[in-house]
Structure 1
């Protein structure tokens, strides 16, 4: 057996074999080790469905790739993967569900996933066994279907071997050690004894330059061996198989085609044909998480007892939708563990804090994802990045603050939420509130309706404190919900008077030491600011795309304060630490990185009256000029005193108005909040949430990381040339220049429907041809119409270009506007006083 390899893949389920297959195709000759037999984990008892439907952009690409790959595996390997392309019919009982399908449709359109909309009558005409009572319609994927999980895994395993991979079974990993250049992986042979799999005592080491873990239900054991947190914990999933249904048998005997996979999303189940009967797979409330710390050695290809009472509602719903199934008995049942994560997306990418360690864990739809994950993870490993932005799946999106209990509660919630309405502004309630800034209770008392970012509670908007008892603050809609009027009023307050935004969730890092200046100059694209000044800048990937956006505040010659997106605290921290290590290993002077996120609270105050409000609180020998352009110019930072609170103030505003970010000791936050509200409210100061802020920043064409900025576009493609200093060398510069301009980021004003705004997932068209997509969307209070940002072909990025945007299956007029359509000269930001 090989003991020195370029890459070791740990785990022989569908995901592990899909990764080995693609790494082998890339010429890396992987070694895959599996502690039991291939498919012995969740793979063997999976239902094998291949749902193309997904509201995430990256995941939609992954699923689409998998389905296309599986269709050709038999021709390549000679093994039939059992792929049945019968289609997938997603039924809708409500208008809101149809709205969800229409939003998905636009996303699918940008990727090229084939789909159709059907009326209830069209459903009945094609599949008369389906009861269409109460349906509004359906979304149909004709290329969807199902596959035999074991067969597709074996086919990918054979394809991997054909391309140079080696696969070893009955080999358990017991330890990982990083030498600085390679991993030493301690393994032990496993043997069969009395029906159990037990250690043989025979151990040895494998040396690997890279390791990929795809350990499925054993992710918690993997996390312990690596000394990291992996919030992937299994949840019970049941499905039942019925005896043959005479009506179905007659339907097929009459020469009719197989039914598509049926999904009644509002009833929370899927159904497909199985040997003349039906398979029902529910996603019910109350399914428990299992093995929060480790899978017992005695648990192999085992199952849990069925709990029919827990799925009674879903079972009766199936009978309602397929009346012929009522008299059919149960033939078989399955209740096995399937891994979930707190947000339902898998963990794909670099392990936090570790070199050349790659995670592929937490797959609740592992069969569907296996091929695509193998493809895109291989791109990340062999080319530096995938061709699509994989940040939404990055393992570092979850912070180190996360605990086992948190993961259990959120994973159980993710399971029960598989078929809920996935609104773009979706907020889930489990394990909340957890991370709260000191002003949380004060904000809540003033009507704050909170969202969650990286565990932090953050106001989305402020509703009426005296709302009637039947007013549902949490009601969400694919169109303008009840919150919309309040967000609009907040946006108007910022433009007309002043708004106060809690930005405490911002990620904050200190970079210090004798090598700090040279390090940041190499890491980021822009010139470094002078002492007391700030700059907006970007860190790039190996392929020249945007890894992170930073606001850099230079506190001293070799002392910097970096502010970045709150959702990406550990992602940014991991990149800073690893980049600093690379810098020092290459001969650079010492650099220290410190995460200070929880030490500093942040309030952003913005609007034409913000200077007046702060002037009432500032303690300065010359308070009347302390905030003037001369003493406190735009894009500068100063330490000031607001009442008894020492504040590191930065003159910048994400809303495009005169404003400051007030970085303050977090333990003094309530004192500062009370003073700001006391002095500000008589002048029109209004508390403002994240939704209004998102609209306001689009009026200024401010790009946001995770939407306009990501690992699939360069800063030059994002139109951020002014923040890229090509006169200096920086990490990723050559790759960025080599990429060129494939598309351009633009801002559009949209004449859309009267009751809805774009969400940032919509396709853009010119003369019927798809030419781009939105990445952000919302409403512009300043222009009285919808607004959006997105990417188009470079030749269509000129202001005045007339395009169309798809919303709810209709095309609406959209016009490319100049960057920063609101106050393009920044006169309001620079106004003196």
Structure 2
């Protein structure tokens, strides 16, 4: 009986088989895969096997691209045909907005190297005469993808894993995990078959290992609970039907190759050929979540009853698009569980709170993602980092406040939104209003149009009463644009007030705090009463986290990080502190996010506004550069509210972050608004802030900064202290400069700005991409931040930016093109 392995993979679907294969390929041949039933017995067996490239996420596009290329190599390696039908994928559009979506996606595809073609309705009709195309605007066509047999590709990966030394044990149920020292004990039992039902009762045994990786699909909640965690991976019912043979299709095949996969996104379905008939897979409204509290032990390769009434509209639209299907009978039907997450992206990466435990869960497009997920996750485990930034897929992007009710509502929404227009500024409506700062109602009354970050409601911008944010969304300059422009101008000319309560906040204290943070971050630590911007690096020398550090005492620090990264950063800080306590001394990590509200006040009039309300014997002097210099922090009183004031502004203007007891927020809000009225104070939102920070070349964590670039590649040399040792320093130096972060001004279209996903070209070749984009009120044109070949990063270099299938002139400008000398930030008074 096997009792030890270096790594144990739990789950024998496509994802688990891929992980086992890639772990062995990376050299970890002492890997064991456990499956409670038979390989492919979960959602893999009833998956339709489609391999769509289309995804608005840069990281997920890389994952899908790897899978599609990898699957084509399996037969040569293993001798097993993976059942890959490379028939192409035609994604049709009924509206100009849908074509805008495709063009927004396509520039990401171009930067990854994904091949695609644009087709007119006439071209579609000429190539595929069974289609009705007169009511279409056009289509994007991927010639290199198609569909695959899920069982065949899983078995091929499993064989490849075995050939590389992996052992696969079937009918083994994992009942728990115990951490002992530096190892995991996986508690197992044999499953017995009684009349077609798998039951316990077989022998129990333990397997000791260094790493556990779970790919348990619909069972993900049960898996996470075994280590005291919760992950929002809950299945949703997905139906698809198979028709009888279509005589018109049979006739078409006599002179043509296999029909491509079809997607009519506006009709919310996919269709592919299946033995002379068709498979229709709709993504309808009101598909219910299932197994909210776990999968019954008796559930094996089972299905739910079909609900044809729920998909009638999608069925009729298939007949409209492919008229020959009207007389095709139904041959078969499927309604099975497919796991989702609240944002539709899988959970790939470390489990929170424990060491060497990894999740690969929540795959709504598991066949498409399996190959790439196994590849990049194995890099994370065996090399410490993947070659792409996996932050957007990290399991810790969802905080501990997420529960089953929230996950069920959001997962149903994610399913429904598979084919709903994915505006870059989309804000989905389910489960909203859950996390609100005290000032929420006041800001709503003032016209706030809210987005959400980590569940927090946060104003995106402010608009007049009756304004419809949903109707204002667009891939171009939507109805919101004029209001954001006015907010950005107000910050440059008078003053703006932002709700920044969603920032993640931690206190690091204890006798080991200073040595710990000095090792963890690449910049000098600030003196007491001062602040520094700094970065925590990975062992590969890339950027793991951005910190604003306020030093409150000799061994007392207040850390501010991105709001979306609260749980991600908390887990990181706690784990690293625990590893270093023996070396540095006791280190206390406290998450104080919900204790402190934050207002960001910025603009030329911000000092005058604070003078009106600061409780100081000489308020005219309390806020001068001498008394309160840039990059310093002081405890002040604004009226009756004690405030931790930080002299910094993400907009590049004179300004302060005002951290205050959250229960006093409404009092402080009213005080600021009253004092600011005569100074032209304007409420502002996240979109204006995003534009303004790009004028200062301030990089944003999660888009411009991530685990695929070092601080030197990101142009953050001034925040790196080369005279000290810090985590990842040598790896950062050894990496060199593979690409360079730049700011560009773009002479773009009159009705659109970049979103931060556009390809950058030089002499017709892709040489980089934007990671942020927007509009500059200072220069009156589009602006963006991105990465390019270092040889093309010099100021004055002329590039092209791809927007809406056209290229537009772009010029590399100096860092901080607005106020490069920081005169506005340092403005005295």
TM-score, reference length from structure 1: 0.99
Aligned positions of 1:8-157 closer than 5 A: 8-29=8-29, 30-157=31-158
Deviations 1:167-202, CA, capped at 9 Å, x for gaps: 000001101011130101100100101210001241
Match of 2:213 in 1: 212
Aligned positions of 1:728-739 closer than 5 A: 728-739=724-735
Q: Measure, in 2, the Cα distance between the counterparts of 1:131 and 1:227.
A: 53
Q: Contact between 1:490 and 1:499, CA under 8 Å: does it hold in 2? A: yes
Whether 1:287 and 2:284 are equivalent positions in the alignment is no
Q: Contact between 1:130 and 1:322, CA under 8 Å: does it hold in 2? A: yes
Query: Which aligned segments of 4 or more residues in structure 1 are displaced greater than 4 angstroms?
Result: 471-474
Match of 2:593 in 1: 597
Once the two structures are TM-superposed, the CA of residue 472 in structure 1 deviates from its matched residue by 4.9
Once the two structures are TM-superposed, the CA of residue 476 in structure 1 deviates from its matched residue by 0.9
Once the two structures are TM-superposed, the CA of residue 133 in structure 1 deviates from its matched residue by 2.5
Q: Contact between 2:64 and 2:372, CA under 8 Å: does it hold in 1? A: yes
Q: Measure, in 1, the Cα distance between the counterparts of 2:504 and 2:471.
A: 27
Deviations 1:558-613, CA, capped at 9 Å, x for gaps: 0000000000000000110011011114x220000000000000000000000000
Match of 1:657 in 2: 653
Q: Measure, in 2, the Cα distance between the counterparts of 1:294 and 1:707.
A: 35
Whether 1:566 and 2:566 are equivalent positions in the alignment is no
1:63 partner SS: helix
Specify which of 707, 714, 739 is matched with residue 710 of structure 2.
714
Match of 1:384 in 2: 384
Match of 2:274 in 1: 274
Aligned positions of 1:722-801 closer than 5 A: 722-801=718-797
Specify which of 553, 558, 562 is matched with residue 556 of structure 1.
553
Q: Contact between 1:248 and 1:276, CA under 8 Å: does it hold in 2? A: yes
Q: Contact between 1:473 and 1:482, CA under 8 Å: does it hold in 2? A: no
Q: Measure, in 2, the Cα distance between the counterparts of 1:807 and 1:202.
A: 61
Once the two structures are TM-superposed, the CA of residue 2 in structure 1 deviates from its matched residue by 2.1
Q: Contact between 2:504 and 2:562, CA under 8 Å: does it hold in 1? A: yes
Whether 1:547 and 2:544 are equivalent positions in the alignment is yes
Whether 1:523 and 2:520 are equivalent positions in the alignment is yes
Structure 1 gaps, min length 5: none
Deviations 1:53-84, CA, capped at 9 Å, x for gaps: 11100100000000101111111100111100
Judge which range, 664-673 or 793-802, deviates more: 793-802
Match of 2:690 in 1: 694
1:121 partner SS: helix
Q: Contact between 2:192 and 2:202, CA under 8 Å: does it hold in 1? A: no
Q: Measure, in 2, the Cα distance between the counterparts of 1:826 and 1:322.
A: 61
Once the two structures are TM-superposed, the CA of residue 26 in structure 1 deviates from its matched residue by 1.2
Match of 1:683 in 2: 679
Q: Contact between 1:600 and 1:666, CA under 8 Å: does it hold in 2? A: yes
Q: Tell me the matched-pair count.
A: 828
How large is the Cα RMSD of the aligned pairs? 0.7
Specify which of 501, 505, 518 is matched with residue 502 of structure 2.
505
Q: Contact between 2:469 and 2:480, CA under 8 Å: does it hold in 1? A: no
Deviations 1:100-140, CA, capped at 9 Å, x for gaps: 11111100000000000000000000000001131000000
Once the two structures are TM-superposed, the CA of residue 474 in structure 1 deviates from its matched residue by 4.7
TM-score, reference length from structure 2: 0.99
Once the two structures are TM-superposed, the CA of residue 466 in structure 1 deviates from its matched residue by 5.8
Q: Measure, in 2, the Cα distance between the counterparts of 1:226 and 1:39.
A: 25
Deviations 1:626-653, CA, capped at 9 Å, x for gaps: 0001110000000000001000000000
Q: Measure, in 2, the Cα distance between the counterparts of 1:397 and 1:360.
A: 14
Once the two structures are TM-superposed, the CA of residue 465 in structure 1 deviates from its matched residue by 2.5
Deviations 1:241-295, CA, capped at 9 Å, x for gaps: 0000011111112x21111000000000000000000000000000000001110
1:459 partner SS: strand
Q: Measure, in 2, the Cα distance between the counterparts of 1:17 and 1:730.
A: 38
1:200 partner SS: coil
Aligned positions of 1:629-640 closer than 5 A: 629-640=625-636
Q: Contact between 2:519 and 2:726, CA under 8 Å: does it hold in 1? A: yes
Q: Measure, in 2, the Cα distance between the counterparts of 1:60 and 1:354.
A: 29
1:628 partner SS: coil
Q: Measure, in 2, the Cα distance between the counterparts of 1:370 and 1:677.
A: 52
Q: Contact between 2:449 and 2:469, CA under 8 Å: does it hold in 1? A: no
Q: Measure, in 2, the Cα distance between the counterparts of 1:2 and 1:24.
A: 17
Judge which range, 793-802 or 33-42, deviates more: 793-802
Aligned positions of 1:417-436 closer than 5 A: 417-436=417-436
Whether 1:333 and 2:333 are equivalent positions in the alignment is yes
Q: Measure, in 1, the Cα distance between the counterparts of 2:201 and 2:33.
A: 19
Judge which range, 435-444 or 25-34, deviates more: 25-34
Whether 1:576 and 2:576 are equivalent positions in the alignment is no
Whether 1:535 and 2:536 are equivalent positions in the alignment is no
Once the two structures are TM-superposed, the CA of residue 475 in structure 1 deviates from its matched residue by 2.7
Q: Measure, in 2, the Cα distance between the counterparts of 1:168 and 1:106.
A: 44
